[in-house]
């Protein structure tokens, strides 16, 4: 690509080129976000595209997030920057994909890891003696800053059980950013409303009437408040869930701090962790949680722990109208009939029951384990939650209303509603 200052052609705005090329890629089927388009524009300002290869690799490392997008990217790049498509032409159908040539496109060779920078400090650009160029290039050589995938893009599809120790810190920060939101409900408490309501606020109306000589010129009504439903999380910390316990505890801690959720863990006994997880210091909260549950990584008594939760907490209005999120693989040492009996009781109390089972992500999975098979008919949704991307589906399912089905989105897979309401 020629230098505009030397060729006499007018300079092109890098932001305009980046936005229009990203728009063409998006219409061709490559999921380019505005953030990636901005990153491409910034990269063009740092690395002027004086050659086709440099422009190609700058666009590729900043706009793509998956190797499967390369064929479409190569075709669109060749069509735009080799003259078969004018990205400035906005006429016609803007929703249709851009026309691209079907011929094979040769990709530029991968650039070297070291780049040579131009000398600075007022040095002359005139001819140099033989052998001086190698000395100057060696003096001004520096490692190039290569674009890399963000931690979220790199870790989003990796199962929590396969995360290495070097990625635990980055994963912890990403999980803490997940915000669980529950559906809303109409509270019994009311608030004054001057634009319509269910009933008359007689006291406020008479008080305002005193300003107009006893004539109630304006009525004050009352409307029921809208509040989010309570969120309850029951996390299995038995030995079979050990690979996912740390990630799920981070989710519990974020929910307790963010939406004042109630958090419980269970293995052979039930432990309420809400007080231990209220602290905003993550390490201290997790240490307190581990100390509060002595049965960590033990066996599983699913049915008995569900019974204890309902008897000690659920019937005391905690679970009434709440969204209950159970994180467990369904393994149980007891009779599955006890699980079915307690899930039926919980079903009559809760607004929705969402079951998160990381084993669901395995190919050919079927809920044949005794505890899981017994609990499934009383669940509104069954999701995997085994990775960062799968937790996005958990967020969507928790926020869904009664009888709603979460369809396939940008990250998560489709969740199925277990029981029509």
Q: Of the spans 4-18, 62-76, 308-322, which averages the highest pLDDT?
A: 308-322
pLDDT of residue 107: 52
Q: Encode pLDDT of 113-125 as tens digits.
A: 333 333 444 443 3
Q: Encode pLDDT of 365-391 as tens digits.
A: 888 878 899 999 999 999 999 998 899
The mean pLDDT value for 129-155 works out to 50
The mean pLDDT value for 230-252 works out to 91
- pLDDT at residue 39 greater than cutoff 60: yes
pLDDT of residue 109: 55
User: At the top level of CATH, which class does the domain 231-417 belong to?
Assistant: alpha beta
SS3 category, 326: strand
pLDDT of residue 348: 94
pLDDT of residue 405: 62
- pLDDT at residue 396 greater than cutoff 50: yes
HSE, CB side, 13 Å, CA atoms: give it for residue 218: 12
* 224 bridge partner residues: 190
The mean pLDDT value for 17-41 works out to 84
> Of the given ranges (136-145, 153-162, 170-179), which has the lowest mean pLDDT?
136-145
Mean per-residue pLDDT over the chain, rounded: 76
- pLDDT at residue 134 greater than cutoff 60: no
The mean pLDDT value for 174-192 works out to 85
Global model pTM greater than 0.85:
no
pLDDT of residue 407: 53
- pLDDT at residue 287 greater than cutoff 70: yes
Q: Encode pLDDT of 73-121 as tens digits.
A: 888 888 888 754 444 443 444 444 444 443 444 555 544 433 333 344 4
pLDDT of residue 112: 43
pLDDT of residue 327: 95
The mean pLDDT value for 142-147 works out to 41
- pLDDT at residue 326 greater than cutoff 90: yes
* Phi-psi group of 297: left, alpha or beta (phi > 0 → left; psi -120 to 50 → alpha; rest → beta): left
Q: What angle do CA 166, 169, 171 make, to 5 degrees?
A: 100
- pLDDT at residue 10 greater than cutoff 60: no
The mean pLDDT value for 156-178 works out to 84
pLDDT of residue 122: 40
b/e code 217-244 from CB counts within 10 Å (16+ = b)? eeebbbbbeeeebbbbbbbbbbebbeeb
pLDDT of residue 173: 85
What would the DSSP string read from start to end of 209-276? HGGGTT---S--EEEEEEEEPPEEEEEE-SGGGHHHHHHHHHHHHHHHHHH--EEEEESSSEEE-HHH
The mean pLDDT value for 274-303 works out to 79
The mean pLDDT value for 21-26 works out to 85
- pLDDT at residue 146 greater than cutoff 60: no
> Of the given ranges (146-150, 260-264, 361-365, 392-396), which has the lowest mean pLDDT?
146-150
Measured between alpha carbons, how far is 398 from 404 in angstroms, rounded to an integer? 11
The mean pLDDT value for 328-343 works out to 91
Provide CATH 3.40.50.410 ranges for the chain: 231-417
pLDDT of residue 220: 82
The mean pLDDT value for 55-82 works out to 84
């Amino acid at each position: 690509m020629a230098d505009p200052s030397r060729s006499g052609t007018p300079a092109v705005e890098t932001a305009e080129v980046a936005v229009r090329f990203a728009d063409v890629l998006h219409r061709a089927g490559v999921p380019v976000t505005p953030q990636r388009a901005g990153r491409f524009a910034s990269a063009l300002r740092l690395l002027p595209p004086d050659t086709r290869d440099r422009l190609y690799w700058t666009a590729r490392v900043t706009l793509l997030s998956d190797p499967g997008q390369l064929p479409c990217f190569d075709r669109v790049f060749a069509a735009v920057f080799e003259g078969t498509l004018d990205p400035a032409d906005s006429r016609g159908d803007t929703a249709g994909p851009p026309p691209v040539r079907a011929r094979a496109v040769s990709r530029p060779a991968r650039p070297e890891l070291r780049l040579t920078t131009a000398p600075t400090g007022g040095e002359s650009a005139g001819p140099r003696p033989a052998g001086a160029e190698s000395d100057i290039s060696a003096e001004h050589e520096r490692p190039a800053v290569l674009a890399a995938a963000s931690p979220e893009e790199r870790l989003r599809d990796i199962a929590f059980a396969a995360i290495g120790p070097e990625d635990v810190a980055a994963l912890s920060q990403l999980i803490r950013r997940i915000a669980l939101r529950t559906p809303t409900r109409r509270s019994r408490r009311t608030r004054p409303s001057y634009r319509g309501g269910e009933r008359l606020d007689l006291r406020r109306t008479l008080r305002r009437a005193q300003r107009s000589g006893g004539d109630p010129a304006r009525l004050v009504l009352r409307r029921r408040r809208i509040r989010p439903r309570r969120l309850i999380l029951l996390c299995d910390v038995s030995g079979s869930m050990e690979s996912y316990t740390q990630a799920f505890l981070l989710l519990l801690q974020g929910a307790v701090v963010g939406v004042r959720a109630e958090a419980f863990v269970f293995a052979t006994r039930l432990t309420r962790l809400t007080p231990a997880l209220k602290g905003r210091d993550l390490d201290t909260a997790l240490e307190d949680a581990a100390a509060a549950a002595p049965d960590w990584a033990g066996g599983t008594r699913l049915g008995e722990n569900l019974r204890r939760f309902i008897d000690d907490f659920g019937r005391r209005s905690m679970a009434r109208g709440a969204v209950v999120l159970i994180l467990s693989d369904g393994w149980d040492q007891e009779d599955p009939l006890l699980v079915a009996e307690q899930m039926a009781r919980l079903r009559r109390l809760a607004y929705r029951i969402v079951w998160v089972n990381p084993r669901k992500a395995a190919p050919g999975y079927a809920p044949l384990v005794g505890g899981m098979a017994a609990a499934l008919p009383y669940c509104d949704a069954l999701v995997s939650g085994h990775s960062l991307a799968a937790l996005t589906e958990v967020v969507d399912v928790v926020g869904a209303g009664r009888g709603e089905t979460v369809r396939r989105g940008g990250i998560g897979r489709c969740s199925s509603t277990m029981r029509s309401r």
